[in-house]
Amino acid sequence: MLQCSQPSQMPAGRMIKLDFGSDDAGRTTLEEGGCHTLSVRSHVPIPLRPPVVAAGASLVAMKIDTLPVEFTEEQKRYLEGFTTGLQISRIGRGLGGGQPKANAEPVGPDAAHLKAQDKVLASGRKLADQEKFKREEHPFDAYPRLKQQALTNSPPSPADNFRWRYHGLFYVAPAQDSYMCRLRIPNGVLKHWQFAGLADLAERFAGPYCHVTTRANLQLREIPPKHAVGLIEGIQDLGLCSRGSGADNIRNVTGTPTAGIDPQELIDTRAYAREWHYHILNDRSLYGLPRKFNVAFDGAGQIAVLEDTNDIAFAAVQVKEGFGAEPGVWFRLGIGGITGHKNFAKPTGIIVKPADATRVADAIVRAFIETGDRTNRLKARLKYVIDGIGIDKFLALVEQKLGGALTRVGAEALAPPPAFDRTAHIGVHRQKQDGLNWIGVCLPLGKVSCEQMRSLAGIAATLGDGEIRLTVWQNLLISGVRDDDVEQAIAAIEAIGLSTKASQIRAGLIACTGNAGCKFAASDTKRHAAAIADWCEPRVEIDTPLNIHLTGCHHSCAQHYISDIGLIAAKIPLGEADDTVEGYHLFAGGGFGSNADIGQQIYRDLTAEDAPKTVERLLKAYLAHRTSGEETFLSFARRHDAETLRKLADAEAST
């Protein structure tokens, strides 16, 4: 027996006729109806949009005979209004009205995604759960339910936990019974008042701190469900947003942190990152990709932005005369980077005029929407499309969407880019503007308290140009500091417990959130990273740039494969029992930019307790066996295979 969930609208015991069927696109249809939600005797709600069936399924009808009871005029108007609304809804989703029509296709901003899903279903395959969540209800359409959950302080269902990531909210239970919120900050640049405003929001709605991420972004944590809406709307009040910063969307757009002030840059990336940022925000069809998607712009400044770890890498290059392309500054295009899967962006031989970057990026994303895997989340990134159909075929699809050929040149047409300075994100450095400097502030593993945020905002406003610039190295810059004000700014930074100086060990120490705040992580990465620095710093004096990255899981948010020393968390078995402890596998010899390569595994199943001493011995082996004082750890590690490095390290004593 089916009963109306709104009995006030129906006569007592009234049963109505309902016809359910499937149209030619395979979607279940409701031809007539009398209530918004139906329920069975157990009172389990049945939505008006039942589970999707495969395309081409035959029409199935479920009919319930009516009793000879007449509707009142008010009830008739209610039913007429409801069925009209249902028809309008169907037409808006591209499902047509009335009887199923041959070759009906979805229309509207979600059409490309629905067509890609339909193609999967027509082939007899199953969509991934996340694709089903998107298909059943677009996350942007579910915002009223997020607000209702906030009113009742209710945690989300698994499906809504995925949907709310479209709004930048990640419910991170069981690590914490709260949300994490990730922002969108194009090129990582904020105004001082925005930074201070975020401190106020964190203090009111979240834990009293923020984390700077490896995408030059900010995360707020410990947000109870009741504060989720207040926080994200407060973020919008500051002229910022969190929209699309999680789930299957284009993530925060990164760019050179010293854009516009760097003496060696080829181009200021801010305008291009900003244009792409707003292009995404204002086009719903660019949400709901097969998987997350990263884009970066490198202007060839002193601080690396790690563009070759992104799905799309735009790297500024100088094109020389005589090679068939207009000489000047272009972006070199790379695609398919995902270093957590041991892949850098593949070179394409294509160069892009900076003014065309958004148009080209848009075409690449739309080609990915059509070709990405919507059945297997582990194979849903752009890399796997390229691996599957080949880079040439994929680029041909991109050119088809652009309506013309992209510009290709040989490597000989490009002048060598200026080198990175691996220490330029920490300390005082001269800008291209006379008499001005940027000051890199060292944050302990990216964490900054609300009080420190307000103080840093004040320093930027009174002694700098009013901007805070975030880097992918989990720290920030204060730019536009006059020569005469540098010492005062440094003193003010030190007065709040931060520093503009760091040892080589701490300057390149990176860690993801870890299991203190992420359900995927196998270890407490930030605590263990701090323990490594605390142990090694007084025992080993490193005088060349060094990166040590700790990541908690296979997602590799801290990019352990591309660091000098990289550790990925693992549960380490103890003896023959089922007991485990937190630990790591250790890699060495990874690099980025001109030294791009994946590190080799040196140790497996290190306990977290043993990790500091192991890193100490490896660094001591480097100092004892390097060819000269100028040889970097990277060069040393690449001169030896894993077994040799392990033997050299094991021969060193830990003190």
User: Are 479 and 489 contacting, i.e. CB atoms less than 8 angstroms apart?
Assistant: no
| pLDDT tens digits for range 135-174 | 999 999 999 999 999 999 999 999 999 999 999 999 999 9
**Backbone angle region of 555, left / alpha / beta, with phi > 0 → left and psi within -120 to 50 → alpha:** alpha
Residue ranges per structural domain of the chain: 3-105, 142-237, 266-299+305-413, 427-501, 507-650
User: Are 114 and 94 contacting, i.e. CB atoms less than 8 angstroms apart?
Assistant: yes
| pLDDT tens digits for range 399-437 | 999 999 999 999 999 999 999 999 999 999 999 999 999
Percent of the chain with pLDDT over 70: 84
Percent of the chain with pLDDT over 90: 82
The residues, ordered by sequence, that sit 6+ positions from 585 with a Cβ below 8 Å of its Cβ are 567, 568, 570, 601, 603, 604, 605, 606
d(CA 51, CA 530): 49
Residue with tokens 């050179």: 256
d(CA 326, CA 303): 27
d(CA 169, CA 242): 8
pLDDT (average), residues 188-199? 98
What's the pLDDT score for residue 242?
Answer: 98
CA atoms within 13 A on the CB side of 269: 32
Note every long-range contact of 146-149, with CB atoms under 8 Å and residues 24 or more positions apart, other chains counting. 146/228, 146/229, 147/229, 149/225, 149/228
Q: Which amino acid is at 441?
A: V
Q: Which amino acid is at 290?
A: P
| pLDDT tens digits for range 589-642 | 999 999 999 999 999 999 999 999 999 999 999 999 999 999 999 999 999 999
| pLDDT tens digits for range 311-323 | 999 999 999 999 9
pLDDT at residue 97 is higher than 50? no
Judged on CB neighbours under 10 Å (0-12, 13-18, 19+), 226 is middle
User: Are 360 and 402 contacting, i.e. CB atoms less than 8 angstroms apart?
Assistant: yes
| pLDDT tens digits for range 466-517 | 999 999 999 999 999 999 999 999 999 999 999 999 999 999 999 999 999 9
Q: Which amino acid is at 373?
A: D
What's the pLDDT score for residue 576?
Answer: 72
| pLDDT tens digits for range 296-310 | 999 999 999 999 999
What's the pLDDT score for residue 654?
Answer: 87
pLDDT band at 198 (very low <50, low <70, confident <90, very high): very high
Query: Is domain 266-299+305-413 annotated with CATH 3.30.413.10?
Result: yes
User: Are 333 and 350 contacting, i.e. CB atoms less than 8 angstroms apart?
Assistant: yes
The string of DSSP letters for 13-51 reads T------EEE-TTS-EEESS-S-S-EE-TT--EE-SSPP
| The CATH number of domain 507-650, selected from 3.30.1360.120, 3.40.50.2000, 3.30.413.10, 3.30.720.200 | 3.30.413.10
Judged on CB neighbours under 10 Å (0-12, 13-18, 19+), 599 is buried
Task: Outline where DSSP puts E strands in 37-178.
Answer: 38-39, 45-46, 169-171
pLDDT (average), residues 127-141? 97
CATH topology of domain 427-501: Alpha-Beta Plaits (3.30.70)
CA-based nearest residue to 516, from 552, 557, 475 = 552
Q: Which amino acid is at 49?
A: R
pLDDT (average), residues 45-69? 41
Per-residue b or e along 519-542, where b marks 16 or more CB atoms closer than 10 Å to that residue's CB: ebbbbbbbbbbbbbbebbbeebeb
Q: Is the fold of 266-299+305-413 the same as that of 507-650?
A: yes
What's the pLDDT score for residue 73?
Answer: 57
First and final CA of the chain: distance in angstroms? Answer: 77
d(CA 563, CA 567): 9
Residue 631 C-alpha from the chain's centroid: 35
pLDDT (average), residues 47-51? 41
CA atoms within 13 A on the CB side of 378: 1
What predicted TM-score, i.e. pTM, was given to this entire model?
0.85
| pLDDT tens digits for range 321-351 | 999 999 999 999 999 999 889 999 999 999 9
What's the pLDDT score for residue 575?
Answer: 76
| Helix, strand, coil percentages in the chain from 3-state DSSP, rounded to 5 | 35, 20, 45
What's the pLDDT score for residue 9?
Answer: 41
pLDDT at residue 42 is higher than 50? no
CA-based nearest residue to 121, from 20, 49, 26 = 26
Q: Across the chain, what does the average pLDDT equal?
A: 88
User: Are 550 and 567 contacting, i.e. CB atoms less than 8 angstroms apart?
Assistant: yes
What's the pLDDT score for residue 70?
Answer: 59
| The CATH number of domain 142-237, selected from 3.40.50.620, 3.40.50.300, 3.40.140.10, 3.90.480.20 | 3.90.480.20
| pLDDT tens digits for range 361-395 | 999 999 999 999 999 999 999 999 999 999 999 99
SS3 610: coil
